[in-house]
Amino acid sequence: MKLVRWGEPGRERPGLLDARGEVRDLSGVVADIGCETLSDEGLARLAALDAASLPLADAGRIGPCVARAGKFICVGLNYADHAREAGKEPPAEPILFMKATSAICGPNDDIEIPRASLKADWEVELGVVIGKRAKYVGEGDALEHVAGYCVVNDVSERAFQSERGGQWTKGKSHDTFGPLGPWLVTRDEVPDPQSLRLWLDVDGVRRQDGTTADMIFKVAVLISYISQFMTLQPGDVIATGTPAGVGMGLRPEPVFLRPGQRIDLGIEGLGEQHQTTIAAAG
């Protein structure tokens, strides 16, 4: 099942994709694609619906596929090739950092290049959306706590991240730095999250082309690991890391984003995102 949120920012409505790829309006069934909807029971209720009987949505803009995410947790350097291009050793344990939830936006919304930005960068990532509370979860049970998966562009400002002191959060949290979607694909449609191809183009040039099979720490390991330090709640999002090909790793010279560029990215079975970069609003 592919769940979607559609409508203007802050006024999105819930929907699902039918067999023809058209968005059906779920507003008469659930209030939104949020924590209550993401439980096993909530998803089973939606799966039992006759999609063809639901009204077609006048979708227009597609919003982020999750409403009111409580936490946006990211994993750094989780692909060995990306660690190497960053000049780092592959980590012995997952590197965790937080991205502000105010960075979340729709999959095709414009991406703002912040004021004083020198090194805005891209990162295609597999997103994991939690559906059931997870605390001290074992690896063998970890995937049972997943509601579904989505595409994430973990947009970053490298100078803010690494040259301005403190933790990575300030380089990861600008408005629009967290496009989610287009869909939340329920876990029953993704039997193996470690066999998905992911890719990203900038202005039509392929920059990233990888597979989740190359993660250092697999999805189940990450969920179990994170749950040792904080309780994961329904609606929390985990961005699981990016393969090689980010702008800061390009040679002979790094390449960074500027206003007026086009970013296209996607993950096998999870859909695509299409963004234009613009100068930050006031």
Per-residue pLDDT of the chain (282 residues; tens, 9 = 90+): 999 999 999 999 999 999 999 999 999 999 999 998 999 999 999 999 999 999 999 889 999 999 999 999 999 999 988 988 888 889 999 999 999 999 999 999 999 999 999 999 999 999 999 999 999 999 999 999 999 999 999 999 999 999 988 789 999 999 999 999 999 999 999 999 999 999 999 999 999 999 999 999 999 999 999 999 999 999 999 999 999 999 999 999 999 999 999 999 999 999 999 999 999 987
Q: Alpha helices of the chain — where are they, by DSSP H?
A: 40-47, 80-85, 158-162, 169-172, 219-226
pTM to 2 decimals? 0.97
Residues with Cβ < 8 Å from 123, sequence gap 6 or more? 153, 154, 155, 156, 200, 208, 242, 246
Residue 163 token pair? 């040259």
Q: Looking at domain 67-279, which CATH architecture does it have?
A: Alpha-Beta Complex (3.90)
Cβ atoms of residues 195 and 149 within 8 Å = no
Residues with Cβ < 8 Å from 269, sequence gap 6 or more? 185, 189, 190, 196
* Secondary structure letter of residue 224 according to DSSP: H
